[in-house]
Structure 1
Amino acid sequence: MPKVKVMVKNNQAKVRVPVGIRLLIRRCCQAVLVSEHFKQDAEVSVSFVSDEEIRRLNRIYRKKDRVTDVLSFPLGQNGHYDINKETGCALLGDVVISLETAMKQARMYGHSLEREIGFLTVHSMLHLLGYDHETSPLEERQMREKEEEVLGALGISREATFTQTEGLDS
């Protein structure tokens, strides 16, 4: 089974990162690699940012001047990735999550913050591996099915409970 090294950074100060979120992100990244039969060890960077920062990034890189929940910056192309010479890991890319928006969406959809961040992480990992739901309805459906399959395997249902008052994990 491939190993995944996940660097999680909290680059915002408005919202506390709940205990357990870092482990959740690592579990989600690993589960996607297993589900996709990714054979090599990999590295991923995940950063929490403010709504203001994700809007700035969205404007610069996607030409969309609005807040979004998550952005993915894949480093690979057509299944080929640069290799970190020190670790031998494939460099998959960067995931940027607005914790403010994730919290709002969890409330709006009536599920836990754990489920929302799990979903955003799985969604972005699939993008880092080359999936693009904006190219065709078929690929969008396939991506949604894979997301639910991975989240289900992890036991992260829409009804999962997770509290924000458990502490700080930053």
Structure 2
Amino acid sequence: MEPIDEAKQDLLIRCLQAAAESEEVSGEVVVTLVNNERIHELNRQYRGVDRPTDVLSFAMNEAGEGEMDIYVDEEEIEEFPNMLGDIVISVPKAQEQAKEYGHSLERELGFLAVHGFLHLLGYDHGTEEEEKEMFSRQEAILQKIGLTR
């Protein structure tokens, strides 16, 4: 597994910042880089899919989840960050896909980070229409920072 140096980490941050600006949202995201074995475990545990994948997203603000009546003081809530969620990326899978698609590891990591980010915001690609919308947003964001195919 190729090490993820500081330049690639900075690239991931730039990708997520560009995605947040494009979607006009702010908040905190945790990105975890893992191997295929770990993402396989997570995919099986949380999605019931028994194979490794390239990226997983775990949104913190999913609609309808854990509905409770909680009193919130609006003045105090501004002190807390908007936790959007977690993105888990398999580095070996990213390397494999970059080679397969004939582009750089940087491009693939950026793509996976933006893809995961959009999932945190509720985008999906279950239908052809949803896929078209999500993938066009991804490409626009990646083009903004120069990560073209």
TM-score bin, normalised by smaller chain: 0.7 to 0.9
Q: Secondary structure at the match of 1:156?
A: coil
State how far apart, in whole Å, the 2-side matches of 1:132 and 1:75 are.
Answer: 16
Question: Structure 1 residue 31 and structure 2 residue 18: aligned?
Answer: yes
After TM superposition, the score normalised by the length of structure 1 is: 0.76
How far is 1:86 from its partner? 8.8
Letter of the 2:109 partner, please give it. I
Question: Structure 1 residue 56 and structure 2 residue 41: aligned?
Answer: yes
C-alpha offsets along residues 130-151 of structure 1, whole Å, 9 cap, x if unaligned? 11112x2111110000000000
State how far apart, in whole Å, the 2-side matches of 1:31 and 1:88 are.
Answer: 22
Instruction: Determine the structure 1 residue equivalent to 2:116.
Output: 124
After TM superposition, the score normalised by the length of structure 2 is: 0.86
State how far apart, in whole Å, the 1-side matches of 2:100 and 2:55 are.
Answer: 16
Instruction: Determine the structure 1 residue equivalent to 2:145.
Output: 154
State how far apart, in whole Å, the 2-side matches of 1:104 and 1:73 are.
Answer: 23
Deviant stretches of 4+, over 3 Å: none
Question: Structure 1 residue 92 and structure 2 residue 99: aligned?
Answer: no
Letter of the 1:127 partner, please give it. H
Question: Structure 1 residue 71 and structure 2 residue 56: aligned?
Answer: yes
C-alpha offsets along residues 113-169 of structure 1, whole Å, 9 cap, x if unaligned? 0000000000000001111112x21111100000000000111111xxxxxxxxxxx
Alignment of 1:131-146 (within 5 A): 131-134=123-126, 136-146=127-137
Instruction: Determine the structure 2 residue equivalent to 1:18.
Output: 5
Could you tell me which runs of 5 or more consecutive residues in structure 1 were left unpaired when the two chains were aligned. 1-13, 79-84, 159-170
State how far apart, in whole Å, the 1-side matches of 2:14 and 2:121 are.
Answer: 16
State how far apart, in whole Å, the 1-side matches of 2:53 and 2:92 are.
Answer: 10
State how far apart, in whole Å, the 1-side matches of 2:122 and 2:16 are.
Answer: 14
C-alpha offsets along residues 6-65 of structure 1, whole Å, 9 cap, x if unaligned? xxxxxxxx5411331111111111111111122xx4110000111000001001111110
How far is 1:89 from its partner? 1.6
State how far apart, in whole Å, the 1-side matches of 2:123 and 2:92 are.
Answer: 25
